[in-house]
Every structure is written in C-alpha cells, then in structure tokens.
C-alpha cells in the first residue's frame, strides 16, 4: 500500500520530487478513492532524511512482505492444485477398486452359499460310496487302466449333479421348516432366492440326465432315474408324494438309493460297461450292500434327531418325533456297532493275512471311536447332535473305503 501511495504521490504532485530530492516525503495515507480525487501536498519543513529512511525501510519491508505473501499464496495454490489433482486421481481410482472388491466379495459369498446348498457331506458320501463299490469288480492291477478311471469319472459326475438336485429340491420345499431347523441354509437364510434355487436344481437335473444318456451305460442311467424318482417323491408337495412326512417311507427312500441302487448299479456299471465282463454277484458286493443297509437306515433315523422342533411344528412324523430323541439316538449307535461287528467278522474270515489285519483292527478302532464319541453327545444341544451326525458320515465313509 505504501508503494502505491508513493507512486500516486508523484503522479499527482510531481513538484514534490524536486523539493525533497532523494527522499520520500511523509504524506497522509489516504484510500485509493481519496488519492484519485485529490493530490497530496508535501511538507517541506519536515526532516527529510530521517523520514525518508524510515519510510524507505517501511516500503522495502512492505515489498518483501508482499512478495513473501505472494510466494506463500502461490505455493499454497500450487499445493492445493497438487492436492486437488491427487485427490482427483485418488477419487477416480476408488470406484474401480471398490467395484473389484465388491465383485470378489459377492462371488465369494455366492460360492459359499452354493457349497452349503449342495450339502457337502452328502456329496462326499456319494463319492465315497461310488468309489468303494467301483473297486469291487477290480481283480488285478491291470484293471486299473485309463479306461477304468474314465468309466469311474463318468459315474461320479452325473451322480454328483443328481445328488445336488435331490438335496436342493428338498430345500426348496422345506424353506419354512429350515428357518427353524437349519437357518444357515442359503434359501432359508435368504442368500439364495427361490428363483436361484430353482435354476440350480433344474440345471443339475438336466446335466445329470444328459450325461447319463450320452455315456450309454444302462446301469448308470437306471441309477440316475431311480434317484430322481425317489428324491422327487421324498420332497415334492403333491398328492401321494411328500414321503418325508411318513417315517417309514422316508427311511425307505434313503435305504433304496444308498444301499441298493448305488451298490448294485455302479457295480454293474464298472463290471459290464467299463471292464466288459459278464454280470456276476460277488461276496464283497453282498457285504457292501448289507453294510449300506445299516448305514442308510442310521442316516434316515439320525438326520431327524436335531430337527425335532421344526418337524413337530410342521407335522413331519419322524421317528424322533414319535419315539423321542434319546431312543432313536442309541438305536442308531447300536445299529452302527452291529455293522462294524459284521465287518470285523468278515475281515477275520479272510485268507489274506494283511487284509485280515487291516479290516479287523480298522473296524474295531472305528467302533471304539463311535462309542467314545457317543458318550459325549448332549442331546439337548442341536450343535452337539449335528456334530455327531457329521461324525457318523465320516466314519461310515471310512468303512466304505476299506
């Protein structure tokens, strides 16, 4: 401001400069408007040198201050500009990161929901059952050829699809019951809509039958067809269907599929379609089918023990509802113990010593684990009963693989 006043002083009163040569005369500081309206008069009797020194110093300080302020302002503006540009780039990159992260989270959630929807313990049971029975026709190491493994794969894949159809269909018709008994299942919890569940179920059904037709194996297609019919009759809410409401019919469905269809159909699939041998019923096949009858009956009985509350509310007359959880629980444990006992006797009668030792000691160990674990189950806790149910699947799968 002083610099501006001095410039204005000279412009409006040039006679002041000769009078005070080499100095700036102190003048009254006026606003810009006042300077424009009138000129400034000099005071000749004032001490010129001292005044000029002070004013010059003040003027220099003001100029430096003005430059410093300008630099700070420019620097500040530059920083603001850089910050704005960085923020702009950061803002521009956030939507891409957020979209990518949200897509991965959504995909992970959907895969987890599909995993629960497929009821993995039943899929594992199906795989173990097919693997074990498919090894029964094998007589020599040479039978374990690429043709054998390809035939095994042709049996496994459509069977897994059919398994997902059966358990998925049951969830579609049991939504209200599952909200009480199994609220973590995706349709009951809302992770899958009804439309999504129907799409998965129908896709698996079509894929299963399409493979069964393409592979041209009559035993395989028969197994898929029987599984479809009994699985549909078990769950669908139509007259003469919904067999799960009746304890005997529900147990019969599971027993036929697991103990008869899987054992006989897939044995014949490997024996005739893959290895090209004539139909022949062996001792090992009879034993496998007998054991699976026990196992299937136990599964049919035990699966309803943790679901008593929902089944009772919706009119499902399971054995657990009729007889009580404790009676059904110990009935299942005793039936499995009998199955392991039969396996021990069969193993002991073997003429091949390594097979005798493995079969006998292995099934004795599994039976012991079963009894020890059964003593720790709290029937009042749904989590404890469900955990033991999963344990039964594991030990039974282990026995099948033997």
Residue 266 has pLDDT above 70, yes or no: yes
List, for residues 195-214, the tens digit of each pLDDT value.
Answer: 999 999 999 999 999 999 99
Decide if 108 is inside a domain. Answer: no
Q: Any idea what DSSP says for residue 38?
A: S
6-15, 132-141, 318-327, 368-377, range with the lowest pLDDT: 6-15
- What span, in angstroms and rounded, lies between the C-alpha atoms of 146 and 332? 40
Residues 360 and 294 in one domain: yes
Residue 62 has pLDDT above 90, yes or no: no
| CATH code, domain carrying 201 | 1.10.600
Mark 166-193 as b/e (b = at least 16 C-beta within 10 Å): bbbbbbbbbeebbebbbeebbbbeebbe
Decide if 107 is inside a domain. Answer: no
Residues 166 and 269 in one domain: yes
Q: Which pLDDT belongs to residue 94?
A: 55
Residues 270 and 357 in one domain: yes
List, for residues 97-149, the tens digit of each pLDDT value.
Answer: 677 778 888 888 999 999 999 999 899 889 988 988 898 888 888 889 999 99
Residues 346 and 277 in one domain: yes
Domains of the chain: total: 2
**Residue 321, domain extent:** 118-401
Residue 53 has pLDDT above 50, yes or no: no
Decide if 75 is inside a domain. Answer: no
Domain boundary (22, 38, 64) is at: 64
Domain boundary (64, 82, 100) is at: 64
List, for residues 286-299, the tens digit of each pLDDT value.
Answer: 877 887 888 888 88
Decide if 247 is inside a domain. Answer: yes
- What span, in angstroms and rounded, lies between the C-alpha atoms of 236 and 173? 7
Residues 31 and 156 in one domain: no
Between 346 and 369, residue with greater pLDDT: 369
Residues 43 and 168 in one domain: no
- What span, in angstroms and rounded, lies between the C-alpha atoms of 291 and 258? 10
């Amino acid at each position: 401001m002083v610099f501006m006043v001095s410039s204005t002083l000279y412009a409006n009163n040039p006679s002041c400069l000769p009078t005070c040569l080499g100095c700036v005369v102190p003048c009254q500081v006026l606003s810009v408007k006042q300077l424009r309206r009138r000129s400034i008069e000099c005071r000749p009797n004032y001490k010129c040198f001292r005044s000029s020194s002070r004013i010059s110093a003040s003027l220099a300080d003001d100029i430096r201050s003005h430059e410093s302020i300008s630099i700070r302002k420019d620097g500040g503006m530059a920083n603001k500009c850089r910050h704005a540009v960085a923020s702009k780039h950061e803002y521009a990159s956030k939507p891409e990161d957020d979209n990518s992260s949200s897509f991965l989270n959504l995909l992970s959630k959907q895969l987890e929901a599909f995993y629960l929807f497929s009821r993995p313990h039943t899929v594992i049971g199906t795989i173990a059952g097919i693997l074990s029975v498919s090894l029964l026709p094998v007589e020599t190491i040479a039978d374990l050829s690429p043709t054998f493994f390809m035939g095994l794969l042709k049996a496994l894949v459509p069977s897994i699809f059919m398994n997902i159809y059966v358990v998925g269909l049951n969830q579609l018709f049991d939504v209200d019951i599952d909200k009480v008994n199994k609220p973590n299942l995706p349709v009951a919890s809302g992770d899958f809509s009804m439309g999504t569940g129907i799409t998965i179920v129908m896709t698996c059904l079509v894929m299963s039958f399409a493979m069964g037709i393409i592979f041209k194996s009559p035993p395989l297609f028969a197994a898929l067809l029987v599984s479809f019919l009994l699985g549909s009759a078990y769950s669908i809410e139509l007259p003469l269907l919904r067999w799960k409401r009746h304890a005997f019919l529900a147990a019969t469905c599971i027993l036929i599929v697991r103990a008869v269809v899987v054992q006989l159909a897939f044995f014949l699939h490997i024996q005739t379609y893959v290895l090209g041998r004539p139909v022949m019923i062996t001792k090992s096949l009879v034993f496998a089918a007998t054991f699976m009858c026990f196992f299937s009956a136990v599964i049919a009985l035990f699966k309803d023990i943790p679901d008593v509350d929902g089944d009772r509310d919706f009119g499902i007359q399971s054995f657990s509802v009729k007889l009580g959880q404790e009676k059904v629980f110990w009935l299942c444990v005793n039936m499995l113990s009998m199955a392991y006992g039969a396996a021990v006797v069969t193993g002991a009668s073997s003429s091949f010593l390594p097979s005798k030792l493995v079969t006998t000691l292995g099934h004795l160990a599994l039976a012991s684990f079963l009894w020890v674990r059964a003593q720790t189950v709290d029937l009042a806790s749904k989590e404890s009963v469900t955990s033991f149910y999963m344990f039964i699947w594991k030990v039974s799968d282990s026995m099948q693989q033997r």
